[in-house]
Chain A
Amino acid sequence: MKVLMFGWEFPPHITGGLGTACFGLTKGLTKHGTEIIFVVPKAYGDENQESVNLVNASDITVDYEDTTYQEYWNRITYMEIGSNLIPYVGPEEFKHIVEQNEIDSIEKEKSVLSKKFTFSGKYGKDLMDEVSRYALISSAVAANSSFDVIHAHDWLTYPAGIAAKSVSGKPLVVHLHATEFDRSGENINQSVYDIERKGMEEADKVITVSNLTRKLVIEKYGIDPKKIVTVHNAVEPIINKGSSGEKKNVNEKIVSFVGRITFQKGPEYFIEAAKKILDVDNSVRFVMAGSGDMLNKMISRVAHLRIAKNFHFAGFLKGDDVNKMFLMSDVFVMPSVSEPFGIVPLEAMRSNVPVVISKQSGVSEILIHALKVDFWDIDALADSIYGLLHYNALSKVFRKFGKEEVDNLKWENAAVKVNDVYRSVI
């Protein structure tokens, strides 16, 4: 089986769980003998290519005089929509985008149709142009390669998937890692929503990362339930470098939150729960790692509650620092308001850290050894954290069985399900 796969990011150049999930899935698929051509808008050269043949869309030249390309382009222009949207933006980039906007606006018109286009591969203001151009190049790739099925990850690559399908006539599978409702709450961006729905309508099969997302797709996008299959994410096993290597520098127990500090992740519930615990027990330290548009508000809140001596902000953690954070943690908390899946608790459990997660996360559907609370139930959240901190029997069980549980969540197993989906559409 040969798959033409479209993704927007690939490790190590990632801003969230999407790239990690794509990487894990491709690795799992390769183990079952599936071949993958993976197209990214921009490759940096240091990606791990053991499982995929990585195609850098920035490297592909397009001669727009060529009539075949004009034909492709005509098919794509239906989605030429407003360009002033900043969805999904990595917090670090937000600043750059604002600064760059003014300079870039004149340039882009010609560049989309120029022979060679350098993708930023980011989530900037010119996203719509990049998405269109990416789709155009994808048609070229589709026309010149042989494969059995097309697989597109998240809305950014759906136009590419649709274009590839119409050029090649091969079946299309779209994968939903997050919907517009997860990113923006009820105030969705209509253009993004339209692309998402169009992608799912054109697709032969839709894969959602949780039943929560599956339900949402049925209710909010009106997609035929028969078309939708849930395949839960998994986690790469950790290469164990002696997990006790990183020692904690403080005596207190550490409770951590790792994730973007945005509405979707529910950082404020973590803070309120911390306050409740610190009121009765100040031998705990809370750490919030990450950045995002709610960071300053959260800092003010912590200062206002007068808990800053025990509540720390660690900033945006990269690579090894994330594992370091887990190794120091006694409890990990993910109080997400809306989380299609949520891969981070799995990473925490993999490092022997017991977790508290919200019932509103997709990952709660598959985890047994995790405490689950409603994100808004601060008392329950505080209770769970306190319990894991103080009742050793509890945390011991969670640590042991949680680790086992996560080690059994293999991408290979997820890949079997994805392969089944492929077979059902060919």
Chain B
Amino acid sequence: MRSICFYFQVHQPFRLRTYRFFDIGKDHNYFDDYNNQAIMRRVADKCYLPMNNLLLNLINEYGTAFKVSFSISGTALDQFEQYTPDVLESFKKLAETGCVEFLTETYSHSLSSLKNKEEFVKQVESHKKKIEELFGVKPKTFRNTELIYSDGIGEMVAEMGFKTMLTEGAKHVLGWKSPNFIYCNAINPKLKLLLKNFRISDDIAFRFSQQSWDEWPLTTEKFVGWLNQIDPAQEVVNLFMDYETFGEHQWVETGIFEFMKNLPRMVFERTNFTFNTPQEVSENLQPVSAIHVPYPISWADEERDLTAWLGNDLQDEAFDSLYSIYEKVKYCDDEQIRRDWKYLQTSDHFYYMCTKWFSDGDVHKYFNPYGTPYEAFINFMNILSDFIIRVDKCSESKEINLEKIKEKAAKLSSEIGK
């Protein structure tokens, strides 16, 4: 059996409003509700709803032969609930077919795996819970924010009980090896790894409508031809991409929907591939070897590393400042603070502070609310400053309460002593 494994990433951050220095200590509303709602509505109408509908029709047409998987970030789910409940309904319909696997990630699409294990585990658990609540299935496969992976992260994921994880088939990690096999974690071989075939995936996600590309236009026939050229010994082709590819990155006019609509039929007619979910692939196949990833990789940019989010002074300062208050936030039970803490961790905030504009500038500009990385930094730090004040207040009142309780206890015990 040879498998095509589709995984679509669905994510929307809670974008921040313009937050001025004068707001610090005064105004605790950080999010740009108007824009968040408007963007969500637009993407829902251009991508989520039509594409969900298309997939549902394909599943109805081919029964269990056609399967896909999704990872939907917690911030996207929260925004569905707030702004576009119709999208959530359509995902639920997909879930009911049983042909769709929902993966687990960090709730707020955060970079916590790189910084704080405790917070990472917490976020994964809360996302798992949310998926189960909404779609009625327990997620078994893990994918980290932006497919970020290292041996250490894989080990943590295995520890949490996951058997399968998705990541990038980065060239500098694989070398001569093919991404079209199952691999396993170098520390804990029980964790199986599915690697993105980035060439074919990006042919769809990035190059589909690019007229300067020598393979343009990409037809279903041509694509299936490429699948047939893959060495028959190779077992799985992992097509991982942003769900917004359909209708947003690639507009409907490019024919991307037609491409997907025709793909299953062509695959069934002309190849020996089937469509499977990551969990099925992981159950059916054995790893061919372990891969060694001492330094984290991701699916972003040419470098497939972390430099889109971390590494320049702006990003590091913002990131370190945010996690420096973890110990205090941990003991805050204020619901608003807990919510803002989650939303502030979303990786997009750091992505906007990226200063490498070269080959990936276009993707970076997409949906970017800021003119420059510097503006992004100032805005984030202003908000973070206010957030820190709130957290400090909260933990102070905790301490005072604790003092009072201690006093009471001392009093009581002395009374008992009498």
Most A CB within 10 A of own CB, among B23, B312, B381: B381
| A296 within 8 Å of B (CB atoms) | yes
| Cα–Cα, bound, A214→B20 (Å) | 41
Q: Is A299 an interface residue (CB 8 A)?
A: yes
| Residue of A285, A300, A324 touching B314 (CB-CB under 8 A) | A300
Cα–Cα distance between A163 and B130 once the two chains are bound (Å):
78
**Chain A-chain B contacts (Cβ-Cβ < 8 Å), number:** 64
The answer to whether B21 and A299 have CB atoms under 8 Å apart is no
B377 touches A249 (CB 8 A): no
B378, closest chain A residue (CB): A313
Least Cβ–Cβ distance between B146 and chain A, in angstroms: 22
Q: Is the CB of A296 within 8 A of B22?
A: no
Chain B residues positioned under 8 Å from A302 (CB to CB) = 317
Asked if A314 and B321 sit within 8 Å, CB to CB, the answer is no
**Shortest distance between the CB of B4 and any CB in chain A (Å):** 44
In the complex, the answer to whether A249 meets B314 with C-beta atoms within 8 Å is: no
CB of B391 to closest CB in A, whole Å: 12
Interchain CB contact under 8 A, B378 and A299 = yes
From residue 292 to 340 of chain B, which have CB atoms closer than 8 A to chain A? 312-314, 316-318, 320-321
Residues in A with CB closer than 8 Å to B20 are: 314-315
B325: nearest chain-A partner, CB-CB:
A309
Give A295's nearest chain B residue, CB to CB: B374
Within 8 A of B (CB), among A307-326: 308-310, 312-315, 321, 324
The answer for the CA separation of A308 and B381 in the assembled complex, in Å, is: 7
Alpha-carbon separation in the docked complex, A251 to B386 (Å):
11
CB of A128 within 8 A of chain B? no
A312-B374 contact given A303-B317, A306-B320, CB 8 Å threshold = no
Say yes or no: is A250 at the interface (Cβ < 8 Å to chain B). yes
CA distance A303 to B382 in the complex (A): 13
Do A303 and B314 touch across chains, with their CB atoms under 8 A apart?
yes
State which of A285, A295, A321 has its C-beta within 8 Å of the C-beta of B22: A321
Contact B317–A313 (Cβ < 8 Å): no
Measured between beta carbons, the chain B residues less than 8 angstroms from A285 are 385
For the complex, is A287 an interface residue (Cβ under 8 Å from B)? yes
B173 within 8 A of A: no
Complex interface residues of chain B between 11 and 44 (CB less than 8 A to chain A) = 20-26
| Neighbouring A residues of B314 by C-beta, 8 Å | 299-300, 303
Q: Could you give, for residues 248-273 of chain B, a 1 whenever the CB lies within 8 Å of some chain A CB and a 0 otherwise?
A: 00000000000000000000000000
Q: Is the CB of A314 within 8 A of B22?
A: yes
Q: Shortest beta-carbon distance, B400 to chain A, in Å?
A: 16
When A308-B377, A312-B385 are in contact, do A303 and B21 touch as well, CB less than 8 Å?
no
A residues neighboring B (CB under 8 Å): 248-251, 285, 287, 289, 295-296, 299-300, 302-304, 306, 308-310, 312-315, 321, 324
B contact residues vs A (CB 8 Å cutoff)? 20-26, 312-314, 316-318, 320-321, 372, 374, 377-378, 381-382, 384-385, 388-389
Q: 6 tightest CB-CB pairs across the interface, nearest first? A: A249-B25, A303-B313, A314-B21, A303-B317, A249-B26, A250-B25
